[in-house]
Amino acid sequence: MSTCWLCVFVWSLLGEWVHCLNALTDRPPVLSAWDHEELFLAEGSPLSLRCPVALGSDLTFRWFKEGKPLNEDGDVLRIAQLMPRDSALYRCSAANNLGTVISSPLSVHVLYIYGFESMGEERTVRVAIGSSFVLQPPPLNASAHLSLSWTWYFENDEILINDTHYVTSSGDLVVVDSNGRFGAYRCRVSLNGRSFVSPVQHVLPEESGSEPSNFGIVYSPLDVIFRIGDSKAITFDCVPSRRDGGVSVEWKLDGVSVHNDGNVEITREGRHLAILSPQTITDGDSVEVTCIAKDESAQEADSVDALLHVIRRPVIDRSRFPREISKRLGESLTVHCTADGIPQPLLRWYFDGEPLGGNLSKLTLASLNNENFGVYQCEAHNEAGVDIAAIWVTKIYERAVDDPQSLAATVIEKPKNTSVNSGDEAILWCSAEGNPLPSIAWRHNG
C-alpha cells in the first residue's frame, strides 16, 4: 500500500511560515514555555491563561491547579475575578491520538492586603533606660510580593529617619536610645493609596535598673534569596547602637569592601546597602555580606554577617534528550535526563501526561510493549523554577512472519530541490508505502 502527501511551504515578507497539510496531525502535541513563569495580579482582576500549544491540531485539553484537575476542557482557562484562594500553580495538558503532553507549571500570585490581623490588641514592650530597642509591625493579613511603604509614629508624631531612629526595608523600627522615647508607638502601612494603621505598642522602662549595652550592631542584615534572572534589587540594613561623628559603617561582599558604584548603592549614612544587579557579583551559590560598625573615638567595633543565597532555574541538557526515538516491540528503552541548577534540581518523569514515580536521571524500560509507546517528559525542578523536555517514542513496524500482508514503511518518492521566488509557493511531494498505512511528517531545517 502507498500514500502520497502534499506539503506547501509559504514564505511571506513577514518571515518564514511553514504549513504542512495533514502532516502536523501525525505527531503528538508540542507545548512551548509560558510567556511568564509567574503572574502577579491584583485581587479582583480577571485571569485568562491559554495553553501554550506550539504544534498540534484536533487537541483535547485539561487544566490542573496544584496537581488537581479543574472542570475546564478548553485551550483557555478563565477566572472572572481573582480571589486569594486562586493563588496556585496551574498546568494544562494537550492530547491527540498519538500522545499527551503536560505543560510546565505557571505560578499565579493574587495580591491583596486587608490590614493588620490583630486590630485593637495593644502590646507592651519593656526596655532598659538608655538602651536600644526594635519594634516590629504586627502581622499583616496580606499576600507576599507587595511593595509596601512604612511610616512610624511616636505619640502621634511621625518619626523621621535620623541618627537615633531608623526604619528598615521590612518595616521594623530601630530606636538606638530609649531616653525620652518611652510611650505609645504605631505604624502605618501603605500600598497604592490605601493605608492601615496598627494597634498601639507601648514602650515602658524596665522595672529593674539594668545597664544599657555597650557599642555594637543592634539591627543585623537578614539573609536574602536571589534568583538569577530576576530584575529586582536586593537590600540589607545594618544599624549600630550609636550614630555620631566617630561612628562609621562599612560593607563587604565575600571579604571585599564595596562602595557606591553603578551596581551598589550605600545610603542612610551607611546603614542601607542595595545591590542593583546581584547576578553580576557572583558565579557561585552564595555571597557573604558583612557589615562592620566602628566607633573610632571609643576604639570599639562590631561586625555581623548575612548570606546572599543565589538560586538558578534548572536547565535540562537536551543534547542527551532527543525529541524522537523509534523502537521495536520488545526492545529496551533508556533515556537520560540531566539538568543543571542551583540548588541541584530534582527530576520527575511523565508518560502521556501522567506522573511516574521516582527521582531518576535515567528512565529505563527493559522490554517495550504496545502500551509503552507515546510521549515521555522529564521535568527538572527546584525552588528557582522548572524546565521540562519531551521525547516521542514511536514504534517501528516490520514485516511479520505470521502476517505476510504487513510491510515496513518505505519512502518511494523523495522531495526534490525546488527554486522559487520569495513570496511564492513551493510544492514538494513525498510518497511512502507500508502496511499498516504509514504516516508522513515534514520538518523544516531538521
pTM of the complete model: 0.78
Averaged pLDDT of the chain: 87
pLDDT band at 2 (very low <50, low <70, confident <90, very high): very low
Contacts of residue 97, Cβ cutoff 8 Å, sequence gap at least 6: none
Spell out the domains of the chain, with CATH numbers in brackets. 113-205 (2.60.40.10), 217-311 (2.60.40.10)
pLDDT of residue 5 exceeding 60, the answer is: no
Q: What is the DSSP string of 94-121?
A: EEETTEEEEPPPEEEEEE-EEEETTTT-
Q: Which residue has the higher pLDDT, 359 or 81?
A: 81
pLDDT of residue 299 exceeding 90, the answer is: no
pLDDT number for residue 285: 86
pLDDT of residue 24 exceeding 50, the answer is: no
pLDDT band at 399 (very low <50, low <70, confident <90, very high): low
pLDDT band at 422 (very low <50, low <70, confident <90, very high): low
Measured between alpha carbons, how far apart are the two ends of the chain, in Å? 27
Tell me the C-alpha distance between 238 and 251, whole Å: 9
Q: Which residue has the higher pLDDT, 364 or 419?
A: 364
DSSP, collapsed to helix, strand or coil, labels residue 278 as helix
pLDDT number for residue 430: 81
Radius of gyration of the chain (CA): 31
Tell me the C-alpha distance between 240 and 166, whole Å: 10
Nearest to 251 by CA among 268, 238, 232, 234: 238
**DSSP-assigned letter for residue 403:** B
Tens digits of residue pLDDT in 70-100: 999 999 999 999 999 999 999 999 999 999 9
Tens digits of residue pLDDT in 272-291: 999 998 888 777 789 999 99
Are residues 377 and 102 in contact, defined by beta-carbon separation less than 8 angstroms? yes
Tens digits of residue pLDDT in 403-418: 555 566 677 677 878 7
DSSP strand pairing (217-219 vs 286-295)? unpaired
Burial 227-264 (b: 16+ CB within 10 A, else e): beeeeeebbbbbbbbbbeeebebbbebeeeebeeeeeb
Tell me the C-alpha distance between 132 and 173, whole Å: 11
Nearest to 361 by CA among 320, 311, 325: 320
Cβ neighbours of 48 (radius 10 Å): 9
Q: Which residue has the higher pLDDT, 188 or 421?
A: 188
Are residues 103 and 34 in contact, defined by beta-carbon separation less than 8 angstroms? yes
Tell me the C-alpha distance between 125 and 182, whole Å: 10
